[in-house]
Structure 1
Amino acid sequence: MKYQTRKKALILLSDGTIFYGKAVGDKEGTAFGEVCFNTGMTGYQEIFTDPSYFGQLMVTTNAHIGNYGTNENEVESDSVKISGLICKNFSYNYSRVGADSSLEEFLNKSNLFAISDVDTRALVSYIRDNGAMNAVISTDVDNIEGLKEQLENVPNMQGLELASKVSTKEPYFYGDENATYKVSALDIGIKKNILRNLAKRDAYIKVYPYNATFDEMKDFNPDGYFISNGPGDPEPLKEAINTAKDIISNNETLFGICLGHQVIALANGISTYKMHNGHRGINHPVKNLITGKGEITSQNHGFAINREEAESNSAIEITHLHLNDNTVAGIRMKDKSVFSVQYHPEASPGPHDADYLFDQFFDLIKTKLN
């Protein structure tokens, strides 16, 4: 064993429930955030660097984390975005030809506090039954009352605007400037693989900060617009919602993913709500109501749009449903080139079932140009 005397650690949930484990490595530390779980068997590096997870304590349900190391090309942003990691077995050694460092080294670079040796089956079962809630992980196991006081000051995810914490500060370009198409993308927590998927379809992308206006984004003279995924509650994103409204009212082609999907719904007067524990994993079943086909999808969201309001909105058609709980997984506007999904077609965690959505976006662009 690399570390013979690791520090005792705990997870204290906001309702007072406690689970115990040990600190990863030789660290002492404390981290706060909303506790949530992801059921993916692989993809931990992508999860940890996904801006949509900003401010969350991640529980991984796979029993072994770190066993295949990390690769610098398999990140979704420029840094780790989760607040802390909770796992069962943390692998200090790794075995993969394509890895360039261990997960421990990767997390240390970001100064991320992690705990292992946790009964994650029991913890996930508890979250599933009682809902996502704020929590703290800490090696300060003898200061439970002090941790409780600090935890009370952590803001709830509902009503929390986080896009500004992860968005680019200045516009930047991605892809080949000589590409056939141009796309203006609103960054409210964009993943790198989304940009890769847009660029490989012969697009040159200009990425704008979360509070960019439609007038600013149209200066690029784009062929289409995109609103990204991201963290937090969508309803406080008034600037992004107004930008989406302007894009729509100007009859532009628009595609939204995850938080972007919720922003487009809000721009159409459809409200959102915080889910009991959200959808986070790489095998979520979705039915495409247009084709009748099923899709295995990657999902990561704690909010959803109101289905009844979407069904009663004369401008909106529901295109996809999540088959586990019948929540809305996709919509499109009937008389506009506007559509969005509540999952991640760029993730492609084995199945490429949802990859067609990027092609659909460019088909709409081509139709408008012709």
Structure 2
Amino acid sequence: MPYSLLISIAMDMHLTAIGRVRSSIGSRAESPKMEHEGAPDAWIDIDPAFAPALDTLAEGQEIIVFTWLHLSDRGYLQVHPRGDVTRPKKGVFNTRSPDRPNPIGMHRVRILARKAHQALHVYPLEALDGTPVIDIKPVARRSGSSQEQDFVDWGPSIPWEQATAMRDLLARSVASGLLAGVHGNASIRHGHTVIMTCRGTAKGRLAPGDLTALDLESGKRLSPGRPSSEAPMHLALYDAFESVGAVLHTHPPHVLALELTVGQDGFLNLPLFEAPVWRDSICFVPELQPGSEAMAQAVAEAATQAAARQGACRAAILSRHGMVVWGETLSEAVNTTETIEALARIQLLAKDSPFSQYSASWPNTPFSA
């Protein structure tokens, strides 16, 4: 269908397609009825004549995409809602049916990426491949409202509350230096679903499209997006501990530096009252391939053995890789990570201080609380 498609509505009313949808949805039978019912990501290819109109649209921004539902039947005035013939008919102006006198579609989506002035990558969009796009507008914010007060659709099977909490806590983790760039991963258990960060996402600025949902039992993906390669480790920990509600894998710089310097035997070997308590809540996992089933099983086994031996285990040091922490909530996991990172920093500072009595026995003399 050419971009120059001219849709004549009346002698004095015309709509010009500004672009078209490029989607994996090929027919009405494949299309979800609503965007939150499994709509995929899609591209909007823009007619070069309208490219300047994209100026200042940004990645992460929410927009309203208006489409011309070209395969619709314009003769309908009443329909059975959602095509369910057991439900009484309604006037089409009180439904979202695509079959209506003027079949204009309205889709609230988020921009995932821009391809210069040629295309927008958006999510979620339930329009069919080839659907003409007739307009794009920004989502208007109410005066005085915040981003948090406005509903954000994070995707199918991803609850708003859990996604928003994950976004805020991971931003805090980046700000405190526990995460950097696209490193690390996190998940939250929600009933029989696990909400997890996708591969390659910037943890400091999560947006729709950066999270995916997995079935807790099978690990099957329930929404778009490739889960972190460490998904097997998260699922293994949920399987090992019923009380675990969140898992956080980070690369804390002081924890990594300390593990590389002193190894397991010297880790958190500090003359501080807090150190033995936290050390006893940590298990150690030998160097294994990140993201492998071997790593996942090793973490789960080390954690369950440490919990049986020590009464509790809240974290695992992954040799030459980082740290994974779990808790009832993601907030608890972040707090634990921050505490262990702070103690590791103290130990490194004590080691390097020429005035420290502790440095003289570094790192071979154990401290007895």
Q: Would the TM-score normalized by the shorter structure come out above 0.5?
A: no
What is the TM-score when the length of structure 1 is the normalising length?
A: 0.29
Q: Which has the higher strand share?
A: 1
What is the TM-score when the length of structure 2 is the normalising length?
A: 0.30
Larger radius of gyration: 2
